[in-house]
Amino acid sequence: MAIEDINKQLEQGLKQESLLPRGMYITGRVISKKRRKTVTVERELVKKIAKYSRWAKVRSKIAAHVPDNVDIKEGDFVEIGQTRKISKTKSWVVTRVIKRDEE
């Protein structure tokens, strides 16, 4: 399935579930698709440690909602947007797929 088709399905699913994103948008890689309607997105940041005048790589994991009938796989590079609170850990929703994982 092409990226354009997946992104169209994402748009339709977000409108149906009334989960329109607002606020921040971030990009990251899908590292887990084990939960139903949920993916775990990992993003890497470079943070400065002022005391030592050095830079360190930092990772953060974010749980994001995936609308029904959307095929997202582990390793895909996605954009997620902030939305209303969906559950205890989910307040982000997948808005588009940037790059598919090449296997």
CATH number of the domain to which 27 belongs: 2.40.50.1000
Q: Please give the average per-residue pLDDT across 32-46, as a whole number.
A: 94
54-94 confidence digits (pLDDT tens)? 999 999 999 999 988 788 899 999 999 999 999 999 999 99
State the Cα–Cα distance between residues 10 and 30, nearest whole angstrom.
16
Q: Is the pLDDT of residue 16 over 80?
A: no
The reported pTM is 0.85
Considering its fold, how many domains does the chain have in total?
1
State the Cα–Cα distance between residues 15 and 74, nearest whole angstrom.
24
Domain boundaries, position 18: 3-99
